[in-house]
Structure 1
Amino acid sequence: MFLSIRSRTLWLLLVISTLWLTSCEDNPVEPVLFGKVTGTVRDARNNQPLANASITSTPATSSIVTDAQGNFELTGVPTGRLTIVATKVDYRSVTVAVTVENEAAVAVAIVLEKNLSTTPPSPPVRPAPADQATVPGPDVKLEWHPAAGVSRGDSLRYDVVLYQGTSGAARNLLTNSPDTTVVAKQLNYNTTYFWQVTVRNAGGSSARSALWSFRTGAQPDNRYLFARTENGNTDIYSSNETGTTLTRLTASPFVEANPRLSPNRDRIAYTSNATGQFQLYTMNRDGSDVRQVTLQPVDGYFNQGIGYCWSPDGGQLVYSSFNKLYRINRDGTGLVLLATAPAERHFREVDWTGQGNRVVVQTVGVSIYDSEFYLLNADGSNFTQLIGNVPGRLDSPSFSVEGQRIIYTRDVDAFNDGAGRQLNAHIFTQNLDGSGLIDVSAGSGGTANSTKPAGFNDIFPRYSPDGARIIFVQVNNVTQSVPDIFTVDLNGRNRVKLFDNATMPDWK
């Protein structure tokens, strides 16, 4: 029995020793290996890269978004099987599986398809201007908002239609655009407009807003008219002195220029080459109700639509057509021949004063430098030369308010070339008998704004309505330079710019 107990004790000691020895043996650890995944996310419809797509993975690495080129990169990815999920708003999520190998880069291309929802979007709300508001014209900014709970980042597209009053005339302002604003341009004054927005989601479902309305305010009393060329197209504008009520009155692919407001301030005359030759037209002060007045063109030597004027009472117009000077009623009736130009000469610029009921008109020969001014009665009689051919180009005669003086321009450098260029055109005023000559452009007083800058021409001068100032165009003497409109005192002082990129001014 004693031996048995001893044997068991030895056996237990042997087992314990074996276990202890076993526990002290080395247990090797497998190393963790890493690789990299690069990829691109694109739109299934057009293969364009998708920015800001969310990229997640299992096993988890990091959550990132694609860059502007639709690219992403996962670094430090454990080797083995990896599941990548790409998601983006309005797109179906896509899951792809890749195998990552040690120190290797795996490239993956993911294509997302639009999630084509069949649920119609909620109609747009909160219009601006507010429904039934009165707003200034002629350009009105329209704005709307997605319904509550809809993000501006959602893939919504908008159509906007504008209706004028009760006429039913529709204008498409916006089509399939993500914008939530649009500007309705060149609207009529004192007119009610209706507008409606259609919203469309990525699935093609749509909804319409309520039919909103606004009314444009009264037409401003713009006292200035001029022509402006933009993008190769010349149109007529009106404005106040500060430019805050600038209104574009014409918008055709033709040249519309040389505007003149009638003495009774109800119609604007202008010329247009819409028929192929410059004809005389009139329109309301807001640009509506355009009517052609002449059938014989306002044309001739160097007379591309600039040779005409209103009668003092606004009932008639006088215009130059080659070697003929005509008078015509404002409605196009009653054409009367007033005068025929001297041999080999054409009529050009003209003005008519009610003080003495006289007309001053320019005639030119085949050279623009061959220019003369004539006086005649409004019935065409007493055709008398006022200023003969002088050195330098001579242009733009018109009367002072009291009809006793004329204003005109002359290039004092007497430059002469085949293109009719002027180097130093000055504004002059003088009495009808030739006395009292004043060089306005030379100025007086020696101040910085009392003389014409060197290298510029002063052209198209006219007296202000009160006769105290002159409105004119200042332009660099380099051909095709951009003109600007200025005003100046009668003595040449206080030269002030009114409008950039503007010519042929009228001030009533």
Structure 2
Amino acid sequence: MFATLAFSLSACQEESVEPIRYGAIEGTVLDARTNRPLANVSISTNPATGSYVTDALGRFKIDQVPTGQVGVTARKTDYNPVTATLTVNEGQNTPISIQLEKPAAATPPGAPTRPDPVPGSTNQATEITLSWHPANAAKNDSLRYDVVLYEGNNINQRNLLTNSKDSTVLATGLLYNTTYYWQVTVRNPAGAIARGTVWSFQTRALPDNRYLYARTVGGNTDIYSSNETGANLVRLTSAMTVETAPQLSPNRDLVAYSSNANGQFQLYIMNRDGSNQRRITTLSAESYNNAGIGYRWSPDGAQLIYTHYDQLLRINRDGTGLTLLATAPSGRHFRECDWTTQQGGRLMVQTIGVNPYDSELYLYNVDGTNPVLLVGNLPGRVDSPSFSIDGRTVLYTRDVAGFNDANGRQLDSHIFAQRIDGSSTVDITAGTGSGNPGSKATGTNDIMPRYSPDGFRMIFVNRTNDNLSPPEIWAADLDGRNRAKLFSNGFLPDWK
């Protein structure tokens, strides 16, 4: 019996169990085609340790994994599952990277159909939503779309959509009276593609807007055109720099304007729809208190005059033929100007000192000779000379409060009309009498006047004298009556 007991104890000692040892696995799951991390991938192991899911960066970590050979399986919808084998060592983090591939498609997706607008459509808006429908697609298909747009014969394409689930896209900034071509490419989860037919549409004709003005929106100043009601609004510039002081050429084919795109205000011209913008000056259009506003078309639209510090210059519309016409008196600069062929041809030029209220208006011959003082240095700012159609009268503004402010603020600026022979000066703003219906509101300034195309009305800007409210563009008869607001938030208007 004793021998039997000893044998039994010896057998128990030989069958003792070794302790289980553990390590950890740290992994990342990527898309095999794009190499981008995949989130929400289901992770399991063999031997089993539990269920895990990758985070937004495609990462996962499994603690307490038995040492030795371990199989790791990754599964995600629309991808083929993958199992990888690795060796886990005790107390160590074992890294692993798994790449998932999408299954090969049995058939490519159907090409998109039912485009809107209908191919060949005309008279379309310059901001339009393009839409289409996938062909033979199931509701749960994960299709992606690319959309390209071509302008007329321009081979440069605009990518309106890239790898998007949307089947609509907004096309903005289109040109008037232009044919556009667009094409949709559809892609299924496996990467197989189908390209749709090239479709086309034509935008509507450019509206014959007679009003141009600058407007500041969100701190950015650009040029707009519209009709007399503010409808048919067209934004002609859209740079992040300042584009201002628009003027339509007398033959109504080009728009001149100034821009500080190169750091200084220079003169530019563009087509009436805002296309083909190009700079025509190399000497800046700047001077004392002049941020690109001192220029004017010649009456025939072939040239422009503009002010560059103490120089009055003339230049051809294509930027050639720069000519010095006149030099301002010592210590003064030229600022605003105008040009008429009537009365033998004259130029009207403002000279200004360092302070904005130190201002005078002179008449010159068109070749820049024979300066004649028309409006002397009066109390308050004198600005914005503009010839009447017959060249006999000039509009300008003056702060009748006589406020000489070094920062240029005006308290009560009025519009005046003065005969160039000095025989008559009329305060147009005061013509209706203060406080009467249609009169200028107290605490505002009338500034930037220009004659209407028929010569019997004027367009001008009215704004509060603290300059905190947006300026407004108004029109009135030449006696100051029938004042009417045309547009809110606009300045430096032009009407042709």
TM (norm. structure 2) is 0.74
Counterpart pick for 1:165 among 152, 157, 162: 152
Could you say if the C-alpha distance between residues 398 and 132 of structure 1 is closer, same or farther in structure 2, counting changes exceeding 3 Å? Answer: same
State the shift of 1:147 in Å. Answer: 4.1
State the shift of 1:132 in Å. Answer: 0.8
Could you say if the C-alpha distance between residues 209 and 400 of structure 1 is closer, same or farther in structure 2, counting changes exceeding 3 Å? Answer: same
> Is 1:232–2:245 an aligned residue pair?
no
Q: Deviations over 1:355-379 (max 9, x none)?
A: 1210111111000010110011101
How many Å separate the matches in 1 of 2:252 and 2:130?
Answer: 32
Partner of 1:351: 338
State the shift of 1:176 in Å. Answer: 3.6
> Is 1:333–2:320 an aligned residue pair?
yes
State the shift of 1:299 in Å. Answer: 0.9
Counterpart of 1:123 in 2: which secondary structure? strand
How many Å separate the matches in 1 of 2:398 and 2:458?
Answer: 16
State the shift of 1:45 in Å. Answer: 5.6
Counterpart pick for 1:459 among 432, 447, 450: 447
Partner of 1:29: none
State the shift of 1:385 in Å. Answer: 0.8
CA contact (8 A) 1:449 1:495 kept: no
> Is 1:191–2:178 an aligned residue pair?
yes
Partner of 2:95: none
Counterpart pick for 2:127 among 139, 150, 154: 139
State the shift of 1:224 in Å. Answer: 1.1
Partner of 1:390: 378
How many Å separate the matches in 2 of 1:181 and 1:137?
Answer: 16
Q: Deviations over 1:17-72 (max 9, x none)?
A: xxxxxxxxxxxxxxxxxxxxxxxxxxx9657xxxxxxxxxxxxxxxxxxxxxxxxx
State the shift of 1:420 in Å. Answer: 1.4
CA contact (8 A) 1:138 1:247 kept: no
**Structure 1 residues 295-304 or 187-196, which shifts more?**
187-196
Could you say if the C-alpha distance between residues 148 and 409 of structure 1 is closer, same or farther in structure 2, counting changes exceeding 3 Å? Answer: farther
Runs of 4+ in 1 over 6 A off after TM superposition: 445-448
- Structure 1 residue identity aligned to 2:113: V
> Is 1:404–2:365 an aligned residue pair?
no
Pair member with larger Rg = 1
Partner of 1:81: none
State the shift of 1:335 in Å. Answer: 2.0
C-alpha root-mean-square deviation of aligned residues, in Å? 2.8
Counterpart pick for 2:265 among 269, 278, 281: 278
How many Å separate the matches in 2 of 1:241 and 1:128?
Answer: 32
Q: Deviations over 1:163-203 (max 9, x none)?
A: 11222110112334444433322222332110122344566
CA contact (8 A) 2:328 2:351 kept: yes
Counterpart of 2:206 in 1: which secondary structure? coil
Could you say if the C-alpha distance between residues 446 and 298 of structure 1 is closer, same or farther in structure 2, counting changes exceeding 3 Å? Answer: closer
- Structure 2 residue identity aligned to 1:140: I
Partner of 2:274: 287
CA contact (8 A) 1:162 1:193 kept: yes
Partner of 1:221: 208
Counterpart pick for 2:161 among 136, 159, 174: 174
> Is 1:431–2:449 an aligned residue pair?
no
Counterpart of 1:143 in 2: which secondary structure? strand
**Structure 1 residues 458-467 or 441-450, which shifts more?**
441-450
State the shift of 1:140 in Å. Answer: 3.0
Q: Deviations over 1:385-406 (max 9, x none)?
A: 1111111111101111111111
- Structure 2 residue identity aligned to 1:426: H
> Is 1:305–2:292 an aligned residue pair?
yes
Counterpart pick for 2:459 among 452, 471, 479: 471
Counterpart pick for 1:365 among 353, 356, 361: 353
Counterpart pick for 1:496 among 478, 481, 484: 484
CA contact (8 A) 1:442 1:450 kept: no
State the shift of 1:254 in Å. Answer: 2.2
How many Å separate the matches in 1 of 2:315 and 2:488?
Answer: 34
CA contact (8 A) 2:123 2:205 kept: no
How many Å separate the matches in 2 of 1:497 and 1:245?
Answer: 17
Could you say if the C-alpha distance between residues 157 and 454 of structure 1 is closer, same or farther in structure 2, counting changes exceeding 3 Å? Answer: farther
- Structure 1 residue identity aligned to 2:157: A
How many Å separate the matches in 2 of 1:159 and 1:495?
Answer: 53
CA contact (8 A) 2:145 2:187 kept: yes
Could you say if the C-alpha distance between residues 204 and 361 of structure 1 is closer, same or farther in structure 2, counting changes exceeding 3 Å? Answer: same
Partner of 2:253: 266
Aligned residues: 403
CA contact (8 A) 2:381 2:399 kept: yes
Counterpart of 1:474 in 2: which secondary structure? strand
Partner of 2:471: 483
Counterpart pick for 1:418 among 406, 414, 419: 406
Counterpart pick for 2:117 among 129, 140, 147: 129
TM (norm. structure 1) is 0.73
For structure 1, the residue ranges without an aligned partner over 5 or more in a row are: 1-43, 48-89, 93-112
How many Å separate the matches in 1 of 2:415 and 2:142?
Answer: 61
How many Å separate the matches in 2 of 1:376 and 1:214?
Answer: 52
- Structure 1 residue identity aligned to 2:126: P
